[in-house]
C-alpha cells in the first residue's frame, strides 16, 4: 500500500514571552522623570545663586541652620553624659555647649547665650576702628607734621581691615628695604621700623608681621622665596622689638613667599614688601 500524499502538514507555533515588556515597558519613564526633575532642581539652584546676594544667601543658610538656642541644655537622663551623646555637637543648640575644634566655622562656634557674640558690641568695634584710623593718620602724616620725609612716606601704604590696621612697607625701583637677595635691612627700613614701632607703642593691640617677596625666574634650581620672606619678616620683628616699646606684642610672624603679588607682574620689585598688622582686640 502506498503512502497518502494528502496528509495536512504539522504546524508548530513558538510563543516568545519577553519579561518586563521589553522596549515597550514603562520603567524607563520613571527614571527619565526623576532625571528631568533633578535637572530642573539643579538649574533652579543655579539661577537662585546668580540672582541673590551674599547677604541673602547667608540669611537663607541661617534660616535652615539657626544659631539661636531653644533650650540651653539637652533633654535626657542625668548619667555620665547628662543626657548628651558623643555626637552632641551635631544636635545641641549653638549656645556654647556644642562647638568643638572639629567644627570651628563661624556658624558653628560658641557665641554665648541666645547666639549673641561675646566679642564686643558694635559700638566697641566702631570705637576701635576709629582709633585705628587715627593711628593711620598719624603714621601717614595726615594728622599734622610728620617726623619722616615725604620720600620715606612713599614706601608706606595703610588700610583698615577686619583684621586690623595693615601697614604695608614696600620696595620701589632703586630704593629697597633689604639688601638684594638677603635679610639685611637698609637705612630706609630702619627708619620705617622706627616709625612703625613708635606708632604701635601708642596702643595695646597685638602685632602680626608678614613677609612677601617677588617671584624668581623658573630657571633657578632652588626657589628661595619661602626662606627669604620668612627671614625678612622675622628680621622686621626683631627691629620692632628694639627698645622694648613693642616687646611681647608680636603674636605671629609668617612668610608668604611670592604667592600673593600686588601687581600683575609677579617679578616686579613692588611685590617685595612687609606687612605689619596692628590686630584688633578680638583677633
Q: What are phi and psi of 102, to 5 degrees?
A: -75, -20
**167 in the same domain as 49:** no
Contact 177, 186 (CB under 8 A): yes
pLDDT tens for 211-233 read 999 998 877 778 889 999 999 99
pLDDT tens for 114-130 read 333 445 567 777 888 88
- Top-confidence residue, 167 or 65: 167
- Taking Cα atoms as reference points, which of 149, 266, 251 lies closest to residue 204? 251
**267 in the same domain as 130:** yes
- The reply to whether 111 falls in a domain is no
**129 in the same domain as 56:** no
% of the chain at pLDDT higher than 90: 37
**148 in the same domain as 36:** no
Torsion of the alpha carbons at 197, 199, 201 and 207, rounded to the nearest 10: -70
pLDDT band at 110 (very low <50, low <70, confident <90, very high): very low
- Taking Cα atoms as reference points, which of 109, 75, 73 lies closest to residue 94? 109
Instruction: Write out the three cell numbers for 255.
Output: 612668610
**244 in the same domain as 140:** yes
- Determine the Cα angle at 165 with ends 162 and 170, to 5°: 120
Count of domains for the chain: 2
User: In terms of residue numbers, what domain contains 192?
Assistant: 122-279
Contact 96, 112 (CB under 8 A): yes
The answer to whether the pTM exceeds 0.85 is no
**137 in the same domain as 251:** yes
**274 in the same domain as 192:** yes
- Which of 16, 35, 63 is the endpoint of a domain? 63
pLDDT tens for 247-277 read 788 999 999 999 999 999 999 999 999 999 9
CA distances from 73 to 70, 77, 81, 100, 229 (A): 9, 11, 12, 16, 49
**57 in the same domain as 132:** no
- The reply to whether 78 falls in a domain is no
- Top-confidence residue, 199 or 9: 199
We report the CATH number of the domain holding residue 204 as 3.30.1330.60
- The reply to whether 47 falls in a domain is yes
Average pLDDT over residues 125-144: 77
Amino acid at each position: 500500500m502506498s503512502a497518502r500524499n494528502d496528509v495536512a502538514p504539522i504546524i508548530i507555533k513558538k510563543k516568545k514571552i519577553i519579561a518586563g515588556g521589553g522596549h515597550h515597558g514603562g520603567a524607563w519613564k520613571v527614571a527619565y522623570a526623576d532625571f528631568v526633575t533633578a535637572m530642573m532642581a539643579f538649574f533652579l539652584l543655579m539661577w537662585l545663586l546668580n540672582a541673590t546676594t551674599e547677604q541673602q544667601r547667608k540669611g537663607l543658610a541661617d534660616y535652615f541652620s539657626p544659631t539661636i538656642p531653644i533650650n540651653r541644655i539637652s533633654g535626657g537622663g542625668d548619667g555620665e553624659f547628662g543626657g548628651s551623646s558623643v555626637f552632641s555637637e551635631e544636635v545641641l543648640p549653638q549656645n556654647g555647649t556644642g562647638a568643638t575644634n572639629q567644627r570651628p566655622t563661624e556658624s558653628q562656634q560658641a557665641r554665648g547665650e541666645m547666639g549673641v557674640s561675646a566679642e564686643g558690641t558694635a559700638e566697641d568695634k566702631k570705637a576701635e576702628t576709629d582709633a585705628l584710623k587715627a593711628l593711620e593718620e598719624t603714621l601717614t602724616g595726615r594728622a599734622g607734621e610728620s617726623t619722616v620725609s615725604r620720600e620715606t612716606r612713599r614706601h608706606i601704604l595703610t588700610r583698615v581691615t577686619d583684621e586690623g590696621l595693615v601697614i604695608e612697607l614696600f620696595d620701589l625701583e632703586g630704593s629697597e628695604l633689604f639688601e638684594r637677595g638677603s635679610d639685611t635691612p637698609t637705612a630706609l627700613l630702619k627708619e620705617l621700623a622706627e616709625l612703625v614701632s613708635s606708632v604701635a607703642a601708642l596702643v595695646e593691640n597685638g602685632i602680626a608681621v608678614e613677609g612677601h617677596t617677588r617671584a624668581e625666574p623658573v630657571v633657578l634650581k632652588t626657589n628661595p622665596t619661602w626662606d627669604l620672606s620668612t627671614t625678612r619678616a622675622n628680621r622686621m620683628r626683631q627691629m620692632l622689638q628694639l627698645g622694648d616699646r613693642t616687646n611681647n606684642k608680636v603674636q605671629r610672624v609668617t612668610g608668604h613667599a611670592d604667592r600673593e603679588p600686588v601687581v600683575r607682574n609677579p617679578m616686579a620689585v613692588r611685590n617685595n614688601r612687609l606687612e605689619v598688622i596692628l590686630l584688633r582686640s578680638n583677633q
